[in-house]
Homo-oligomer: A and B are copies of this chain.
Amino acid sequence: MSTQQFTQLPHKLLSVPGPVEVSDDVLLANAHPSMSHVSPAFAPVFGNCLRMLRQLLYTESGQPFIIAGSGTLGWDLVAANLIERDEKALVLNTGYFGDSFADCLETYGAKVTQVGAPVGGRPTVEQVEEALKKEQFKLLTFTHVDTSTGVLSDAKAIAETVRRVSPDTLIILDGVCSVASEEIRMDEWQIDAVVGASQKGISVPPGLSITALSQKALKVLESRKTPVASYFASYRRWLPIMESYEKGTPGYFATPSVNLIYALEASLKSIVAGPVSLEDRFRQHRDAAKRFRGEARQLGFETVATEDEACANGMTALYTPEGVAPPALIGALANRDITIAGGLHKDIKTKYIRFGHMGVSVVERPTDVTKVINALRESLAEVAPKSS
């Protein structure tokens, strides 16, 4: 039994916006024999991951954190550490995940103002500027790619606006569905926190909360007037652990997800030190998304994102053509061994479908995207109402 056959058992091609396909090397690393989290052999693996995350986020002074959890835990990390009860947060809303981040912030006592847009749209820079001028916000959050709508926010423009209009406001980029599929230049754009996860562009199985803080965010953490509002999600407790592992010395606060960190190391190596440069990686994602959208539109689908510049590059949400019910199409694709996702946004839930095209399926196996497009064409032909 070869390595490849062994890890990649027959399975439906995963084309949802996370979890995504995982390479054999990474699955292999996830099957690493059990290791102590404080063993001298494991510490450098953890350290490598932290260093490679800095490369991926184009940051020198940013502090990455790898914590057992999911992307959602990153919201708690922000809400419990970077803002205090009754302080104000501005949430730019481009879908389900904006609502949820706002909900999380309110759980920890923040006063949330939201700037939204009709489904498929995104707040304009002018709207953001106007909101920032009305009140002083401790932090602003935006969903870089909202997994429910496939809407891409213009991270650079948002950050520029905040720095110009309200320089003290922390800029929080929710990158759960964008890290490693969209370019994020943390230092250049002056992003204060990136919230990510393992199972999207990074192409590792789910189970890791991956975040990074700027030095400015670390100072805000340090100078809190009230205690951090969580124990497990306390950046203060995790900071010395990350610093320690990066030096090659194990630290202990809570047991890290050892095997997933081996898997993360394997995947990050291929991302930041593989044959494809980071710049090319992001270009490949843009190209794949453009191709996918083009083909889908030719078939009669419309993107949920209302303009091309607001279409994510690692996923696409598509309204199905008139008379084509999403469940029928999802079923027809499943019969062709392809898994796609149904709707998530409450206002349009029954009218659209979602596809992932990120990570391994774009960079290492671009034929995955072709397979999905072909299967979509066949499935549509099968389930579309026949014109008489």
Contacts and interface: CB of A to CB of B under 8 A. Distances in A.
Given A39-B339, A260-B207, A107 B230 contact: yes
Contacts of A1: 1-3, 6
Contacts of A205: 34, 257-260
Contacts of A108: 231
A147 to B, nearest CB: 10
Contacts of A27: 31-33
Interface string A228-263: 111111100000000000000000111111111000
A378 interface: no
A21 interface: yes
Interface of A is mostly: loop
Copies of this chain held together in the complex: 2
A249 to B, nearest CB: 13
A42 to B, nearest CB: 10
A351 interface: no
A253 B72 contact: yes
Contact of A68 (B11, B28, B207, B258): B207
Interface in A63-103: 68-73, 75-76, 79-80, 103
A379 to B, nearest CB: 17
Interface in A12-58: 12, 14, 16, 18-22, 27-28, 30-39
A227 interface: yes
A303 interface: no
A169 interface: no
Contacts of A2: 1
Contacts of A206: 37, 68, 255-259
A41 to B, nearest CB: 8
A104 interface: yes
**Which has the most chain B C-beta neighbours within 10 Å: A30, A68, A73, A260?**
A68
A259 B205 CA distance: 6
Contacts of A344: 252
Interface string A93-124: 00000000001100110000000000000000
A197 interface: yes
Nearest to A75: B231
A8 interface: yes
**Which has the most chain B C-beta neighbours within 10 Å: A12, A19, A252?**
A19
Nearest to A9: B33
A7 interface: yes
A71 B35 contact: no
A341 interface: yes
A20 B34 contact: yes
A199 interface: yes
A113 to B, nearest CB: 18
B197 A255 contact: yes
Contacts of A69: 68-69, 73, 232
A232 B19 contact: no
**Which has the most chain B C-beta neighbours within 10 Å: A33, A231, A234, A259?**
A231
A307 to B, nearest CB: 28
Contacts of A341: 36, 38
- 5 nearest interchain CB pairs? A207-B257, A72-B254, A205-B259, A31-B31, A104-B231
